A and B are shown apart, each in its own frame.
Chain A
Amino acid sequence: MDRFISKLLFLAACSSTAILALIALFIFKEGLPIMAKTGIGHFILGKEWAPLSGQFGIYAFIIGSLWVTIGALIFGVPLGVSCAVFLAEFAPPKWVGVLKPAIELLAGIPSVVYGFLGVMWLAPIIREHLGGPGLSILAASIVLAIMILPTIVSVSIDAIQAVPKSYKEGSLALGATAWQSTWRVILPAAKSGILAGVILGMGRAVGETMAVIMISGNATTIPHSPLDSVRTLTANIAIEMGYAVGDHRQALFATGVVLFFFIMILNTVALKFARRKF
């Protein structure tokens, strides 16, 4: 019986790994030929995306993904980390019991709702007050920042709470204030955990599709300001998959290959930081 169960579990473990391998294999099989045909350099750095005339350059989308993600981090990280510091170190326990679940609830809102809010409310504000089309890097960054908040906040809170209490005691006993102790001892000690949270949030921002399609404007050109419309790698696949055939279809899979590496690198880095101890 024991042997049977352990075999069964082994099979389950194998199959989940196999699924990953099969997906990777399939994406690569579909995507690599077009990359070879266009040339990897041309595919990644090509500035022209015109599937109908056989131009497959995804540079603008890589830049789009990059800016939208960086923007999301610029808004999300300071807000999320400050929030985590407050909840973990300064807030009365009663507040934490209310605020932490509330922030985690943000993760439960479907991305289409975020996108809808962005289109209906945020984009018009940006268009009226700052100019441009409204559907832009800025709008997408702000919405993504809110979407990655729960990840950053909850991972950071855990990281801060995992710092041994003796560090804080030691610091206070030297005559430091609560804030000095937090800033000079607790945050440096929690640094690697907080960074892991930020990288996980970043992974989410890179992979988010629906909300980004709705609010980023989806222009296939290279953006010159935060108020310009962009298209991200994920959006490119989702928008065009409905009617893509032949080379075009393969080019979308190739976009997936690039995305695959992008996210794999981020996850590896995240795991490395998460495992590192103080």
Chain B
Amino acid sequence: MSAITCKELNFYYGNFHALKGVNLNVSEKRITALIGPSGCGKSTLLRVFNRMNDLIIGSRAAGDVKIFGEQILGDGVELTGLRKRVGMVFQRPNPFPLSVFENVAYGPRIHGLKRGGGLERTVRECLESVGLWNDLKDHLKENALSLSGEQQQRLCIARTVATRPDILLMDEPCSALDPQATARIEELMQDLKSNYTILIVTHNMQQAARVSDDCGFMLMGELVEFGDTNRIFTAPADKRTEDYITGRYG
């Protein structure tokens, strides 16, 4: 089943036409990567799916975007519910300046899970799922900002997973990390794939090739080509994709 379907999506920042007629199907429980040079619109596209672009004054989306069959563009959409289902991990790890526990418990709390056994179990499960539990089980009360960059990013993933989303959006989640940490986060993504649909934006082509099942190449607001990652990287159909992959620009 398609987790995300996107038909004739156009997006504007004021007069700037940032996304031009994007059509896209993201399949469930796979990792889909969006690649392309800086400013091509890949982050904008990602942020359409949890409506984070709404924060930017003067931005406007037109078209048809469905998450598991439900329309998410327009005024009637309940954003809190949408963002609970479509979680997001940011480029720079942004844990709250609260304790490790409170960071993970944040989502469950705001969505109404009260303190108690349930919450503690959720926090534990989420930390386990991102491989932090063993390191941090005795440091749950410590300030999250004292963790290493990699741990912070894992914590942010745990925090996102804690709201039980269907889809994880990842906006260059490794760009602030060193290569070893990057490799371990990529491994984590493979583990998470069985439970979540992951959509990752990266301008690191090797990363896209390593982690993703499907891959889309974007250029100047257009989705130039989309398909199976192996196929995109070995036999791109579009000349522009080929030029980008072979490093002729970007």
Contacts and interface: CB of A to CB of B under 8 A. Distances in A.
A194 to B, nearest CB: 14
Contact of B94 (A167, A175, A177, A184): A167
Interface string A178-207: 001000110011000000000000000000
B133 interface: no
Interface string B72-112: 00000001111110011010101111100000001101110
Nearest to A189: B97
Interface size class of B (residues with CB under 8 A): 20 to 34
Contacts of B95: 170
A88 B80 CA distance: 22
B83 A170 contact: no
Contacts of A167: 94, 96-97
A111 interface: no
B212 interface: no
A171 B84 CA distance: 11
B55 interface: yes
Contacts of A166: 90, 92, 94
B107 A169 contact: no
B163 interface: yes
Interface residues of A, number: 18
B156 interface: yes
B10 interface: no
A5 interface: no
Contact of A173 (B50, B81, B109, B145): B50
> Per DSSP, are chain A's interface residues mostly helix, strand or loop, or mixed?
helix
Interface string B111-135: 1000000000000000000000000
A164 interface: yes
B145 A278 contact: yes
Contacts of B88: 173
A20 interface: no
A169 B98 CA distance: 15
7 contacts: A166-B92, A167-B97, A169-B55, A173-B160, A174-B84, A175-B80, A188-B98
Interface of B: 50, 52, 55, 79-84, 87-88, 90, 92, 94-98, 106-107, 109-111, 145, 156, 159-160, 163
Closest 3 CB pairs of A and B: A175-B84, A166-B94, A175-B83
